[in-house]
Each structure stands twice: as C-alpha cells, then as structure tokens.
Structure 1
C-alpha cells in the first residue's frame, strides 16, 4: 500500500529530475517550477456517479 505508493513516487520523481537535468532536489530552482498559471495545469475533478448508483436508502422497520 503506502510503501508501494512511496516507491512509485520516488521512481517518478527520479525520472522527472533526469528529464529536467537536475540530479538532486537541491538542483531544482524556481525556474523549474510552473506556478504562474496553475489553473491551466490542474484538471477538473470528475463527478463520482458510482456512489449514486450503488446507494440504497434504508427502509424503515415497520411493525407487523
């Protein structure tokens, strides 16, 4: 779970740093970070319709 996620993150960060030409985190500068227009880089969150299809309201208990 968490160990696998951390491993994937490390591998991804290592690959991105290689592609950027920054061998260490200390080599990453402000020039490498896109921050002036974040809204164009953040995708919209999709609505989760699965919850609407799987939820069944509880029925009240009636006396017989």
Structure 2
C-alpha cells in the first residue's frame, strides 16, 4: 500500500542533511511518496504548512 510520508529535518551542510535524504530514498525505493520538510518551525500550527502538504489530508 502506497503512503504519503513527510520527513522532517533540519538540513544543513553537515551530517544533519544526510539522514533525512537516506530515509527519503529508502521510503521512495519502497514505493512510497515522500517529501522533506526543512525545520520544525512549521509544526507550531498546521496553518503554516505549505499548501502542497495539506492536499488530500481532509
């Protein structure tokens, strides 16, 4: 069953950028639709999430 998965990470020029991309690649190779959202400031309110992430959630 294909799922839409959001990977949240604080991407920078160091190791913090590696793991979220590895997770995304693993899930994509498994047939899931994935997207990386940089930073946790979007979690304070669902109204701050980009429109593309809210599609099909209701």
Normalised-by-shorter TM-score class = 0.3 to 0.5
User: Please, what TM-score do these two structures have when normalized by structure 2?
Assistant: 0.33
Higher helix fraction: Structure 1 or Structure 2?
Answer: 1
Question: Which protein has greater RCO, CA pairs closer than 8 Å, 6+ apart?
Answer: 2
User: Please, what TM-score do these two structures have when normalized by structure 1?
Assistant: 0.31
Larger Rg computed on CA atoms: 1
Higher strand fraction: Structure 1 or Structure 2?
Answer: 2
